[in-house]
Chain A
């Protein structure tokens, strides 16, 4: 491995930035942001240098040091550098870099900008750690660190009660997933005796039944981790609330990178999952995709629409993994990182231009006021909807093809339906927020964002457009199938024609969704759907009442147990036990006091009785 030190530098630069900002430059906003930005941009450049020197598929992919070694618990701190992690490295530092730069403009007015960039760098460090981990324990460590940096960034405006609540909710929901994840790790370690991905894969390849009867259970437990981070049903509830964080955070963490970590982890450890576990994973992914798409249709907050769309796309990726298709999953993850980050940053630009307005029904007519935002947003929308030849079209098509290839027609239907819904809600958002006449005074006075914000939009837009045919799928394909078939640009461009049925269904769904959105929303002043759908519309708007159901069941039950314990502790353990000891001592004291009367005759009597007793025992025998 050439330039072995480089990945270590890439990993630790953002941590260094966090430390420097926290310790020294917390009072200087510009300096702090520049430190943070240069750490991630340097990471991007160094990643390119490393890939240039070693290629995507080098022979030696690991570099590690011993971190903890106790008996047969051996945990390295190691980096794994194969195509999968290198590509993720580029996404995290590249897309992340664009978002860092954008944040410089977006957060410029905020007094705590230095703190923001310190957290952002901490997040970058943690995310790079997940991506580069070569073993389960290290991945879990960074997994938790990502969770906490997300917690800190969601709660960045901690004086707002809603932000504090959202941060707490995200953290606890993620912890629920991590509970399963760590159990799964313990189980795998207990059965296979190692934590290292390479060793585990070798064990599983030589002996596919090594996990024995626990195979499905272990797989599902590991999947719990992904369920938390990638917000899959039933742990999906935190992601929409996480939009309380600043918009660049939503773009970076809750769209492009962190939420994709679950999918990445599944692809990294795919060899552990047996057919049953994959089956469950596929259906959970499909269900999440559908559920979130339905909810997105009736949301009015621009960030929440995008959040539910993220959930839905994550559902696609998880479904693809479950359909034994890591290549389509990672392909979609990559293109999604481009266009979803673009859409979020665009939304942030709109929010910025409208002075913190997030309701799409209070926007409108932004085309002339914000041209760059408008044009990049439409490109992102087209990519997300899966319109050819934008990137989303290729990756989504590969998922459809995978479902067909596995002969899973149920999930194929779900996927196509979700594609139609996606187009529908994205164009609903687009027509309402960007076209027509300005609906409010704020919308009339909207202004385009500064260059530092629009340039990252343009950069991301380029990749959102061309991401589908520049060889990304081929890279992942070579990683997972080890066949070095490389396609030319033109071949990639026409790749979807290999599965014409999937292609036709996908395009049909896009056209239906687009037409429906056009009819309903092109000229709408208010949302016509609630009147037409009735209770269904309300249920969609209220997120199918999952929060309320959890509140009424799990949270209340857990609190009830806590109350019982508290009362038991207060009244039984503390009250009764201590009370008994104290009362008993007290009672003995009172009883003995009766003998101490101070009356000489009583003492004489007792004395005589005692002597008699002693004599009886001494002489009686």
Chain B
């Protein structure tokens, strides 16, 4: 089998990280150039892969499998289907943007870039792996640098506390998920870590109900903690508030989606019965994210804490989509995962810029920044609008699809979630805009330097354009996602869906009868 493009995508950053070890620490330009190249090329490759992806084809593409420990059924196995092709693309774009934004790091640059590349390789590997062992191991590769980066290059008074908390939470979450995955391996009896094989095997020999009931909560809460599911969310805003911008971009944007991806890829299709019984609870828990954390975000006085909380709130929409367990809801969830990746990276990148220029993110200290920082201000305004679900940006498509999916199953929860999406989100976002960008410019900020030149603008422009492209043409993603989600939903719902009040065929008849 030839080497898959995916191996290059995830291998290049790791190789470059190893290469950087050999470069002397005072060759700063070289270090930066290597880091940029080692994220830029994978991004191009990811775009190529995305455009070559055959739509409508069920199953994995760009696969590569190298057996490793055959007695355990372990192998290096990568591949993408509709579910993760968009995530890999998003991860690669965000990684390049994060590398671009890393010019804010002024100390111990060599170590920073090594960790950044290591994290990038881990993230892309986690999303590309089709082997449970590598899937998990790559995630840990990415997670450990996160803690180090916050601890060493973090900012703010509460840096150490934030590092402590994020390490504690994420380690516990990862540990629970690991327990669940090992239990799954043992209980399945398939003697393989290979996800496609495991899925096929468990499709034919479903797990016993009691095993499912034991393993599913481990995965739900293990992965859930990694995604800041309420009430295990308090690490997120604090951690992102203290993290350097590139770390926050990569973690909040991409790495955090690992837990969600794991739930969709592993937990839902392999343990359908347990999933059915837990989804009601998940639907209510997600309101904790959407409403409760949304309200918390309204009260934040620090821009990064606000963005962090808003990011936690957005996770609620993804959980709501998952909880609906139908094609529309889960497709919407995948859309929000991708859209939010771009958005979180964009907002953290922008707040990093503002922090670097002003030295503060206290909202009361800022104001009128749209005048001196035209490009950054306008981009932040658009990001805030994307954050409160404005059409045109990819987030809207994802969120509205989630609502359509969830409406059929949980009308009450959907109603409350809508309040969070349309009202609470608008309140905190417009307040932030009013206090940061609008109003008179304080004397001390009137001479701030805007991002000028292509180089400085590229990371923000790239993320913004990605949001717009998928917002205008969501079918670029949905056409790829739908066939695979259909398969997963079929496994997760052994019983067929109930027909609506008006049968679909009836509507089609009516439609054809209409003059066109």
Q: Residues on A close to B: CB < 8 A?
A: 59-62, 66-73, 137, 140-142, 144-145, 148, 151, 155, 158-159, 161, 163-165, 167-168, 171-172, 175-176, 178-179, 182-183, 186-187, 189-194, 196, 198-199, 202-203, 206, 210, 212, 558-559, 561-566, 569, 573-574, 577-578, 581
Contacts and interface: CB of A to CB of B under 8 A. Distances in A.
Given A182-B403, A569-B296, A171 B426 contact: yes
Contacts of A71: 326-328, 331, 482, 486
B203 interface: no
Contacts of A178: 422
Interface string B399-411: 0110111011001
Interface in B463-480: 474-475, 478
A118 B497 CA distance: 47
B295 interface: yes
Interface stretch (B38-46, B122-130, B265-273, B508-516): B508-516
Contacts of B457: none
Contacts of B441: 159
B418 A179 contact: yes
B230 to A, nearest CB: 9
A190 B514 CA distance: 21
A219 B383 CA distance: 33
Given A72-B328, A151-B430, A186-B414, 10 more contacts: A68-B401, A71-B326, A140-B391, A159-B371, A164-B434, A168-B434, A171-B426, A172-B426, A196-B511, A565-B292
Contact of B328 (A73, A199, A203): A73
B159 to A, nearest CB: 16
B475 A67 contact: yes
B390 A144 contact: yes
B234 A199 contact: no
A155 B404 contact: no
Interface in B195-240: 231, 233-234, 238
Contacts of B516: 60, 62
Given A71-B328, A168-B431, A179 B422 contact: yes
A164 B231 contact: no
Nearest to B335: A70
Given A179-B418, A179-B419, A565 B438 contact: no
Given A186-B407, A190-B407, A566-B295, A68 B438 contact: no
B500 A190 contact: yes
A165 B401 CA distance: 32
B448 interface: no
Interface string B410-430: 010011001100110011001
Contacts of B474: 67-68
Contacts of B403: 182, 186
B514 A199 contact: yes
A158 B370 contact: yes
Contact of B439 (A68, A158, A199, A558): A158
B160 interface: no
B295 A158 contact: no
A88 B410 CA distance: 38
A70 B392 contact: no
B401 A561 contact: no
B437 to A, nearest CB: 7
A68 B326 contact: no
Q: Pick from A60, A159, A561, A577 the residue with the most CB of B within 10 Å.
A: A159
Contacts of B414: 186
Contacts, number: 178
Contact of B502 (A193, A565, A566): A193
Contacts of B511: 194, 196, 199
Interface string B121-158: 00000000000000000000000000000000000000
A66 B486 CA distance: 19
B73 interface: no
B115 interface: no
Contacts of A199: 507, 510-511, 514
Contacts of A565: 292-293, 295-296, 299
B72 interface: no
A62 B516 CA distance: 6
B504 interface: yes
B495 interface: no
Contacts of A189: 404, 407
Contacts of B411: 190
A178 B332 CA distance: 20
Contacts of B300: 566
Nearest to A569: B296
A159 B438 contact: yes
Contact of B475 (A68, A175, A203): A68
30 contacts: A59-B515, A60-B515, A67-B475, A70-B482, A71-B328, A73-B328, A73-B401, A73-B405, A140-B391, A144-B390, A144-B391, A144-B396, A145-B392, A148-B390, A158-B368, A159-B439, A159-B440, A159-B441, A164-B439, A168-B434, A172-B423, A179-B419, A182-B418, A182-B422, A186-B414, A191-B500, A192-B502, A199-B507, A202-B513, A573-B231
A189 B440 CA distance: 45
A573 B404 contact: no
Contacts of B415: 183
Given A175-B423, A562-B295, A202 B510 contact: yes
Contacts of A561: 295
B372 to A, nearest CB: 11
B255 interface: no
B475 A210 contact: no
A569 B234 contact: yes
A413 to B, nearest CB: 37
Contacts of A206: 510
Contacts of A563: 299
Given A144-B390, A161-B440, A199-B510, A68 B397 contact: yes
A172 B502 contact: no
Contact of A164 (B327, B418, B438, B478): B438
Contact of B165 (A67, A70, A578): A578
Nearest to A22: B378
A172 B427 contact: yes
Contacts of B482: 70-71
Contacts of A559: 298
B507 A203 contact: yes
Nearest to B430: A168
Q: Pick from B165, B388, B404, B431 the residue with the most CB of A within 10 Å.
A: B404
A531 B98 CA distance: 66
B510 A70 contact: no
B29 interface: no
Contacts of A196: 511
Interface in B20-59: none
B449 interface: no
A210 B502 contact: yes
A61 B503 CA distance: 26
B501 A210 contact: yes
Nearest to A177: B422
The 4 closest A-B pairs by CB, nearest first: A164-B438, A566-B299, A141-B391, A562-B295
Q: Pick from A144, A562, A573 the residue with the most CB of B within 10 Å.
A: A562
Contacts of B249: none
Contacts of B293: 565, 569
B186 interface: no
B368 A159 contact: yes
Contacts of A562: 295-296, 298-299
Nearest to A141: B391
B501 A191 contact: yes
Nearest to B428: A562
A171 B390 contact: no
Contacts of A210: 501-502
Nearest to A194: B507
A175 B422 contact: yes
Q: Pick from B296, B437, B486 the residue with the most CB of A within 10 Å.
A: B296
Contacts of B427: 172, 558
B478 A148 contact: no
